[in-house]
Amino acid sequence: MEGRKMNNAILAVLAPYVILTVSAAVVMGVIAFARNHVVTVLLTLAAFILSSVSVIRLFFDPPFQVTPLITMDRYALFFVGLILLGAFTVTALSYSYLARHQGHREEYYLLLLLAVLGCTVLAAATHFASFFLGIELLSISLYALAAYFRHSNRSVEAGVKYLILAAVSSAFILFGMALIYADTGSLVFSNVASSIASRGVQQLPFLSGVTMIIVGVGFKLAVVPFHLWTPDVYEGAPAPVTAFIATASKGAVFALVLRYFTNIDIHAHASLLVTLTLIAVASMFTGNLLALFQTNVKRILAYSSISHLGYLLVTILASGPLALIAAAFYLTAYFVTTLGAFGVVTILSTSGRDADQLDDYTGLVARRPWLAGVFTAMLFSLAGIPLTAGFIGKFYIIAAGIGAALWPVVIVLVINSVIGLYYYLRIIVILFTPDGAERPAGPVHSRSGNLMLAALVLLLFWLGVYPEPVVRLIKAAIQGLI
């Protein structure tokens, strides 16, 4: 009887994963026996809604370590919930986008479910084995999603590039894990962190292992110098897939990295501190400076994402409760803003190609005032303009950096925010340029997409004007890590 209660408790805690897994199997069965785009979308949306409901219910329960591989604490549940909401938005945006394209559409949602499952495993991972399983499940799904339009050369090129570089990064991660295990005899994050705290990272095997994992994770996060795949994959992948890569994929990996480094006093280890500082500074400058020279909107947003990951790395350098709050809030704001920006690109795209050239947005305010307004709000948030979520997110990161006396890094962050403002304003100016006003508006039929954009705009300004409820939620989520 006691064992049965324990099994029921474990099943209840794993409800988000069970729902996603069962839903993937159901969608696979539906595809095999009766293809239907609408039914597949509804099943996928229902899976994300049910998983989100289970996350909300579990959030108020005590933390539960299912196995040494996964811990379902409030920190994990917060990021799992964020990933599920992001995936729900991507699914809603994808419906009308895929309806405009020929060929089979249903497998897309199966791959998306599996990718989300991999993301949620990463968010709750406390062991290198679950880390590797989650990242491989995510990566394998993204290979196919990036190349989903197999008749498009750009889409296939994006998939192949992501396949090769993601495989290389996984090899680095796996070899790094092996070296760390050989030196410490453990693959549990807390045990490895304790080893770092007690012995430092001076031993050659251990230092080599940590370096390889930083290289592998750097590829997944697309930080400098591991960023070369980012603009090409962003440009070639279907617009909703790019939105997913930019948000849920990177957010899940960063949540895992943040959990790992929370257990380490990074300021006591000069080599780690210097390495991460150089990566953060290089990511900020490289992302923002290269974005200045782009004429493709998806490539601009790709380089922008590199700089934003550089900003997020400041929270790891700062460490402490305020840094955790800053990281979680900034990721939330980044999800809302990036999904909104790529949502506009998705809705404006046609069956022939994605609306990714700057010329596609000339005079958009006259042709599509709603979409121009949404895009403007999202770009303002990415630039960190007041009354938007992005401003509050940058404020928290700067406050965390100042609290940790990281003055040089904070100054670099402020300088790069000014650089970023230029290319965001350049797009906004193009939106309001009258030269393209005479162009036909073009057919844009996406009720689900416009509904998602409306929700994202409301969230954008709510987080920018009244962030306190989300901050309280984040404080509750990080209590177990402090």
Q: Report yes or no: 335 and 456 within 8 Å, Cβ to Cβ.
A: no
**One-letter identity of residue 325:** I
**Mean pLDDT (the chain, rounded):** 87
pLDDT of res. 435:
66
The residue among 7, 234, 20, 236 whose CA lies nearest residue 119 is 20
Q: Report yes or no: 273 and 403 within 8 Å, Cβ to Cβ.
A: no
| C-alpha span between 20 and 111 (Å, rounded) | 11
Q: Say which residue the tokens 């295990």 belong to.
A: 181
Q: What tens digit of pLDDT does each residue of 42-51 get?
A: 999 999 999 9
Q: Which domain holds residue 18?
A: 2-478
pLDDT over 80 at 409, yes or no: yes
Q: What tens digit of pLDDT does each residue of 288-328 get?
A: 999 999 989 999 999 999 999 999 999 999 888 899 999 99
The total of structural domains in the chain comes to: 1
Burial 332-366 (b: 16+ CB within 10 A, else e): bbbbbbbbbbbbbbbbbbeeeebbbeeebbbbbbb
Q: How deeply is 114 buried, as exposed, middle or buried, from its count of CB atoms within 10 A (0-12, 13-18, 19+)?
A: buried
- Mean per-residue pLDDT for 455-479? 93
pLDDT of res. 46:
95
φ, ψ (nearest 5 deg) of residue 61: -90, 160
pLDDT over 70 at 447, yes or no: yes
Other C-beta atoms lying within 10 Å of the C-beta of residue 321: 15
Q: What tens digit of pLDDT does each residue of 236-293 get?
A: 899 999 999 999 999 999 999 998 888 777 777 777 888 899 999 999 999 999 999 9
Q: Is the pTM of this model over 0.85?
A: yes
| C-alpha span between 240 and 277 (Å, rounded) | 32
Q: Report yes or no: 222 and 230 within 8 Å, Cβ to Cβ.
A: yes
pLDDT of res. 1:
46
| C-alpha span between 118 and 402 (Å, rounded) | 35
pLDDT over 60 at 7, yes or no: yes
pLDDT of res. 280:
94
pLDDT of res. 200:
59
Q: What tens digit of pLDDT does each residue of 50-96 get?
A: 999 999 988 887 777 777 788 888 999 999 999 999 999 999 999 98
Percentage, residues of the chain above pLDDT 70 = 93
Secondary-structure percent of the chain, ordered helix, strand, coil, rounded to 5: 80, 0, 20
pLDDT of res. 441:
47
pLDDT of res. 472:
93
pLDDT of res. 13:
81
pLDDT over 50 at 440, yes or no: no
Percentage, residues of the chain above pLDDT 90 = 52
Q: What tens digit of pLDDT does each residue of 354-408 get?
A: 888 888 888 888 888 899 999 999 999 999 999 999 999 999 999 999 988 889 9
pLDDT of res. 427:
92
Which range is most confident: 75-79, 102-106, 177-181, 435-439?
A: 75-79
Binned at pLDDT 50, 70 and 90, residue 482 comes out as low
Q: How deeply is 85 buried, as exposed, middle or buried, from its count of CB atoms within 10 A (0-12, 13-18, 19+)?
A: buried
Q: What tens digit of pLDDT does each residue of 121-137 get?
A: 999 988 899 999 999 99
**One-letter identity of residue 438:** E
- Mean per-residue pLDDT for 187-199? 74
The residue among 138, 117, 109, 124 whose CA lies nearest residue 250 is 138
pLDDT of res. 185:
78
pLDDT of res. 251:
93
Distances (CA, A) of 145 to 24, 140, 234, 387: 15, 9, 12, 35
pLDDT over 70 at 149, yes or no: yes
pLDDT of res. 2:
46
Q: DSSP for 309-351?
A: HHHHHHHHHH-SHHHHHHHHHHHHHHHHHHHHHHHHHHHH--S
pLDDT of res. 270:
78
The structure tokens listed for 397 are: 């990161």
The residue among 395, 399, 397, 377 whose CA lies nearest residue 462 is 377
Binned at pLDDT 50, 70 and 90, residue 353 comes out as confident
- Mean per-residue pLDDT for 335-348? 93
